[in-house]
Amino acid sequence: MKKSFLIFIITINGFFSFSQTKKTDSLKNQLKITFQDSQKINLYISLAQELLHENVTESFAYAFKGLSLSTQNKNNKGVADSYQILGNLHSFNSNDSSLFYLIKSKDLKYKLKDLKGVASLYTSIGTCYDKFGNSELALNNYIKSLKLFDSLGIQKGIAGAALGIGNVFSTIKDFKKAIEYYEISIVNYKKINSPYLSWAINNLATVYEKTNNRQKAKDLYEESLKLKLENNDFYGAVFSINNIGLILHKEGKNQEALNYFFKALKINRGYHLEKETFANSYKNIIESLLSLNKNKEASLFLDSLEILTNQLNLSNLKLEYVKLKSAYYENINDFKNALFFKDKYITLNDSFLTYDMNKQVSEADAKYKAEKKQKEIELLNKDNIIQQIKIDKQQTQKNWFIVGLTILAILLAYLYKNYIQKQKANVLITSQKKEVENKNHIIEEKQKEIVDSIQYAKRIQTALLANKIFLDKHLLNNFVLFNPKDIVSGDFYWATEHDNKFYLAVCDCTGHGVPGAFVSLLNIGFLSEAIKEKNIEQPHEIFNYVRTRLIDSISNDGQQDGMDGILLCINKLTNQMTYAAANNEPILISNNNIIELQKDKMPVGKGEKTESFTLFTINANKGDTLYLYTDGYADQFGGEKGKKFKYKQLNELLLSISNKPMLYQKDELNAVIENWKGNLEQVDDVLIFGLKL
C-alpha cells in the first residue's frame, strides 16, 4: 500500500492552538469592553489564531474583521497578520487562495522588516507548494526559511523549516537526507519542549517504514501518538493511529488494522477535522475492506473518497483513488474496468515525479550548503574587506565634494539670472492661481453636494431592501452577499409577508449606479403595490403586473428599462414553494448535485415576448440549499487571463461550499471573487442570496 507522509501544514510562529477554550472566552470578554481600534485589531487577530483549529468559521469571521479594521486604520502589521491567518485557514481546503494570502502577507512583512514573520511565511508557502506536488518550489521556500531562522537563531523556526525539507526529500525518496533533516528538526524541538516534536517524530517514523524497518517505525509512531494525546492534538493523533494501522495491514493483520482506521475516522468526525484527514482515513479503510473481500462496504467508501478527491484536487490523492478503484473492480471480477483504471494509474504516476525534478531539488540543497560555507569564508576576511571599503569610500567622497562645488557655482549663476524674470511672472501666476483655486473650490463643493445626495439615496435604497432581522425571522438559515459596483445599486433583494405568504425577490435592474438605483426603487414600489394593494398572490401574475406598470410608466419613448430576477413565494401554511423567473434561474443543490431550475427567457419590462410569465414549483428535500443570484458575479473579469468568472464555475463553487455554514459560504464567495478580480475594476453589482431549506 502506498501511503503519503504527513505534510506539516502549521505555521511556525504560533498560529496553531490546542484546546484553549478559557483563553478564547477571555479574549471575547475583552473585546466587549474595548473601544480603541488598535486594541480591537489585536483582539480580532488573537481570536482568529486561537480558533484556527477549534472553529474555522469563527476564525474566518474574526480574521476578516481584523483585516477590515486594519485596512481602515492603515495598520499594515494588522493587515499582514490577517492575511497570514487567512492563508492558513485556506490551506485546509484551497491551496490557490492560501498562496494568494500568504504571499501578500510575506510582501507586507518584508516592507515592515519583520524578518521572523517573513521566515515563517516562507515555511507556509513551501508547505502550499508541497501540497501541490511542486517539490522544487517547496524546497526553495523551505531553504529560504531555514537560512533566515538560522541567522536569527530561532530554534523553533529552524526545526519547522528542517521538517519541511525532510518532507520534500521523503517525497522524492532521498531517505538519507530526509532522516538527516528530520533529526535536525527533532533536536531543535526537544530543546524548546515544543508540541510540534510529535509531528517530526511521526514523519521520521514514516521514512523508517518506507525503508522496511517496521519495528522502528511502529515504536516511533507510538511515541508520536503519546505526545499528541498529551497535547490534545487530535488532528495529529488521527495520522499516528492511521500509520500504526498501516503497519498492521502490511503485516497481514487486516481486521486489526481496520479497527485502527475506524478509530481514526471516529476522531475525524467527532472533532470535525479537515477534508484531507477524512480522505486519508477513507483510503485506508477501503484498502483494508478490499483485503477482507468486503466489496460492498468498500464501494460506499469509494464514493465518499471520490467526492473529496474532486474537492481537494491533490495529485497524490488522485493517484491513490484511481489505484483503489482498479483494485475494487479486480475484486469483483470486472476486469475491463480494472484494466481501465490500472492504465489511468500508470499514466498519472508517470507524470508526477521525474528524474529532472530529483536532480533540481538535490542541486538546491547543495546550493544552500555551498552558500553557508561561503558565508563562513567571507567572515574570516571581514576585517580586510571593511578596511578596503573605508579607503574607497573616502576617495569617492572627496571626488563628489569637488564635483558638488562646481555644480553649485553654475547653479547659483543660473538662479540669479532667472530671478528677475521670475519676479515679474510671479505676479501673473499668483493671480491665475487664485482664480484656479476659486474654481476648484466651486467644483469641490458641487461634487460634495452630488456625493452627499447619492449617499442619502443609498440610505433610502438600503431602507427599502429586506433587513436581516426580517429575513432571519422567516428564513432561519440564510446569507446575502451584496456588493454594489457604485454607491447605489441596480441590483436589489426585497421581501414582504402578506396573507400567510412570504415573498422574496432577487433582481437585477437595467444599468447600475444612479440610473439602476432609480429603476430598482420603481420596481420595489411596483412589487409592493401588486402584493399589498392589488392582493395578487401568484409570483408569475405579480411579474405580469410589474411589467405592465413599467411599460406604462417609462417605456413610452422606446426605452426597454426593466429587470431580470426571481420572485419566490413560500406558503407558510402548506410550506409549498413557487416562483417566477425572468431570465435568471434559481440553483438548487440537492444530494451533491447542481439543479438549474426553470426560467422564462424574457425580462420584466418591454421586450420581444409579451406572453404571461410561468408559475414554477420547487420540489426540494430538507437540507437542500437554494441560491438566487444576479449576473454580476459570473460576469466579473479576472484570473490570470482576465476572463469572465462564468456561471459554470460559480455553480461548481456553490456546490463545493453548500454543506458549509451560511456565514462561511458568504465569506468564501466574497474571498474568491476578490481574489479573481485582483486589480481589475468591478464590472457590475454582485448579489447572491443563499437559503438552507
Percent of the chain with pLDDT over 70: 79
Is residue 579 scored above 80 in pLDDT?
Answer: yes
Q: Rounded distance, CA 234 to CA 134, Å?
A: 28
Is the pLDDT score of 15 beyond 80?
no
Calculated CA dihedral for residues 672, 677, 682, 688, nearest 10 degrees: -20
Whether pLDDT at 6 is above 50: no
In the sheet that holds 686-692, the strands lie side by side as 478-483, 686-692, 625-629, 587-590, 593-596
pLDDT tier at 268, thresholds 50, 70, 90: confident
**Dihedral pair phi/psi, residue 271, rounded to 5°:** -110, 10
- Output the average pLDDT for the chain: 82
The DSSP 8-state label assigned to residue 134 in this structure reads: -
Write down the pLDDT at residue 355.
39
Task: Report, in angstroms and rounded to the nearest whole number, the Rg of the chain calculated over CA atoms.
Answer: 32
CA dihedral sign, ordered 555, 560, 565, 571: positive
The residue that leads in pLDDT, 93 or 271, is 271
The CA distance from 235 to 220, in Å, is 17
303-362 pLDDT per residue, tens: 888 888 888 877 788 888 888 988 899 899 988 888 888 888 888 776 654 434 454 444
pLDDT digits (tens, 9 = 90+) for 203-259: 999 899 889 898 898 899 889 888 988 888 888 888 788 888 888 888 888 898 889
Q: Which of 77-91, 403-417, 430-444 has the highest mean pLDDT?
A: 77-91
pLDDT band at 451 (very low <50, low <70, confident <90, very high): low
Kindly list the distances between the CA atom of residue 267 and the CA atoms of 20, 232, 270, 426, in Å, as whole numbers in the listed order: 19, 12, 5, 81
The pLDDT of residue 20: 52
Confidence of residue 692 (pLDDT cuts 50, 70, 90): very high
Q: How far apart are CA 202 and CA 77, in angstroms?
A: 35
Contacts of 348 (CB under 8 A, 6+ apart): 315, 318, 319, 322
User: Does pLDDT of 608 surpass 70?
Assistant: yes
Which tops the pLDDT comparison, 373 or 227? 227
Cβ neighbors of 633 (< 8 A, separation 6 or more) are: 645, 650, 669, 673, 686, 687, 688
pLDDT tens across 29-58, in order? 888 888 889 899 999 999 988 888 778 888
Task: State the first-to-last Cα distance of the chain, in angstroms, to the nearest integer.
Answer: 42
Q: Is the pLDDT of residue 504 over 90?
A: yes
- Per-residue pLDDT, averaged over 548-572, amounts to 81
What secondary structure, in 3-state letters, does 175-243 show?
HHHHHHHHHHHHHHHHHCCCCCHHHHHHHHHHHHHHCCCHHHHHHHHHHHHHHHHHCCCHHHHHHHHHH
Residue 275: pLDDT band with limits 50, 70, 90: confident
Q: Which whole number is the average pLDDT over 600-626?
A: 90
Q: Out of 384-388, 395-399, 423-427, which region has the weakest mean confidence (pLDDT)?
A: 384-388
